[in-house]
Structure 1
Amino acid sequence: MKKYENLFKQALTAFCIFFCVAVTAQQTHFSPAELTTAADIWLKQQLPTDTDLQIDISALDNRIGDKTCTQPLEFSLSQAITQRQNTIQIRCNTEASWQLYVPVRIDEIVQAVVLQQNVANGSLITADMLTIAQRERRFIRGSIVTDTSQVIGARSKRTLSMGQILTLQDLCLVCKGDVVTISVSDSGLNVTATGLAQSDGSLGDTISILNQQSKRTISAEVIAVNLVRVKF
């Protein structure tokens, strides 16, 4: 049901943009509210559709009064569209030309794993500690965790606070001294062994592992909680 609701909202938004732009192109007289709406519609047409973005546009002050333009309005951004703080320029290119500036803030919204309680340094991460929430990307430093199952069983490398966004840098999926499973892949053949981690590692890190059978130290990539992989 949610899928169809999203499709309906996208279709409605596309219709509104088409209709509003068509109407605006025929207008010659604009109130501050209409100019703000036109700037908002134009900006949404410029943004990528594969990213969840939150737009906060500042309405033009009504005290500037209505504006007249016999040509289609021109819009542009003062900075690259990736900038969080930006300004939309509205310009009328006629003999009696004028231009206005509309401040806008663009925030990328991501789904992230967030802590539901305080976590002490060295604690084992359990499912009841975690939830999924929407957060602004600008508040995140590091590689975000988007799937709770990815980190259940990991250990915290520092003290973490309730409400904090969890990143891979906060955790060791394999901690020094842990007994880990070594997955070895060679020409389609997969075998496993056990080893002892010689250092901490997070997802994608390469760490040293002491093979408990051969007593040799090998390098392996951390691919999950207490699981490493050796490739040939």
Structure 2
Amino acid sequence: MRRLPPVLLLLLWANWAWSGESQSHAAILDTARNYLENQVVPAGSDYRIDLSPIESRLQLTPCDGSLEAFNLSDKRAWGRMTVGVRCLGSNPWTVYIRAKVSILQTVLVLRESLPKDAFVTSAHLDFAQRDVGELRGGYFTEPEQALGRRAIRTLAAGTVLTGNVLETPKIIKRGQKVSIRLHNGTLGVQMDGTALTDGEPGQRVRVRNESSSRIIEGTAVAPGVVEVD
């Protein structure tokens, strides 16, 4: 015997079980929306909630108890999800609703295209609202996070700026002759060295003291300058 699809069985059961006034679909969707607003959306966030409509043929007995919503995945992360709404009355039922929660935040984007290896200046920067749940690579919110960085590939106008598309230029390069500054209280000593690793501003690097051949570690503080405490 051929089995009926589960959705059709649910419709047949609902129509057979009860054939009068039906449960308001709007009330079910409102319950799902209130749940998402209070349990999923971060406090104080700008957001948008999109709910898929309930199949118009689905007739449910009016709930004589309360309606309760729950997250099917039991997670509070935003994005695409399925929300359940169940009736806690004498004739219980449960429906599932597809939802998308968008968290909107102002992020840094490119005002114009940026060629590969070009450095970011203030003229390139703009702000725009984006759904941060869709930004898997993170995002920048302050110009200082992007200024002076270099594009690792050609970037189109409107690109959200992140550490995945911009790199900080290295001020110390492996094999480069560097100046080692040694600080010990009020005493400062400067000596010649060779960088053994690359380094960005503020990054720890290994260098070899050319006079003693000792390998030490310091901080890249300027192009060609490593500071050791």
Length-normalised TM-score, structure 1 = 0.63
Deviation at 1:229, TM superposition (A): 8.6
Identity of aligned residues (%): 26
Count residues with an aligned counterpart.
201
Kindly indicate which of the two structures has a greater share of residues assigned to helix.
1
1:75 aligned partner: 69
1:133 partner SS: strand
1:144 aligned partner: 139
Deviation at 1:111, TM superposition (A): 2.9
1:40 aligned partner: 33
- Structure 2 residue runs of 5 or longer lacking an equivalent are 1-20, 188-192
Between 116-125 and 152-161, report the one with greater CA deviation.
152-161
Deviation at 1:38, TM superposition (A): 2.2
1:9 aligned partner: none
1:99 aligned partner: 94
Aligned counterparts of 1:136 and 1:227: Cα–Cα separation in 2: 41
Provide Cα deviations, 1:18-40, integer angstroms capped at 9, x if missing partner: xxxxxxxxxx9741122212221
2:57 partner SS: helix
Residues 118-197 of structure 1 aligned to structure 2 (within 5 Å): 118-169=113-164, 170-175=166-171
1:89 aligned partner: 84
Deviation at 1:135, TM superposition (A): 1.7
Q: Which amino acid aligns with 2:102?
A: D
Change (3 A) 1:140 1:89: closer
Provide Cα deviations, 1:188-222, integer angstroms capped at 9, x if missing partner: 99xxxxx99886656775445799xxxx9864557
Length-normalised TM-score, structure 2 = 0.64
Larger Rg: 2
1:57 aligned partner: 51
Aligned counterparts of 2:95 and 2:160: Cα–Cα separation in 1: 39
- Structure 1 residue runs of 5 or longer lacking an equivalent are 1-27, 190-194
